[in-house]
A and B are shown apart, each in its own frame.
Chain A
Amino acid sequence: EPEVTQTPSHQVTQMGQEVILRCVPISNHLYFYWYRQILGQKVEFLVSFYNNEISEKSEIFDDQFSVERPDGSNFTLKIRSTKLEDSAMYFCASSRTSGGVDTQYFGPGTRLTVL
């Protein structure tokens, strides 16, 4: 069964450094998402992406964050200058269609630790 993959599984970085989290969505999916889960808290939406554009973003997704689909398979989340509070599990997801009814398939997550 097709699945969403994410690399790395764990990333440790120093405060102020840039990190890039990578995701490979399911191949025939057109909509892509990033979510994060701070330890012990809710899963929070960051951004959705379709047709090489951001469809929607949350208040969390400020200027330090950016997303990109650099080629036909990868979908990346860049955090420009990491802060301690960016430490979280970051989940990538993809769906075939939009409209609020289609299932979003999640990857296993990247645990980001900012020291």
Chain B
Amino acid sequence: KAGVTQTPRYLIKTRGQQVTLSCSPISGHRSVSWYQQTPGQGLQFLFEYFSETQRNKGNFPGRFSGRQFSNSRSEMNVSTLELGDSALYLCASSLGAGVNTEAFFGQGTRLTVV
């Protein structure tokens, strides 16, 4: 069974540009969450999607957005990139939306903004 797949693995962008990251959850999983990991702020929750609906959103500016498709694949978009957006972006998928369901993480996308 394939795990959570995040693409691309590495990305270098210029300040002011926009970027789209992709996450393909484990087959059958309907919940996808996104986290930003930085040395300074640690792991912070971005948003959660379940069956194409955003269920929860973290405390990030509107430049960060996401969506989920009917096949449960999810994308997150960051517009007008800032140097501080450089981070590892992790995606997690779960079978359901409950806190008792196990979350499986991908290997992340390393975004560098120059």
A in complex with B = no
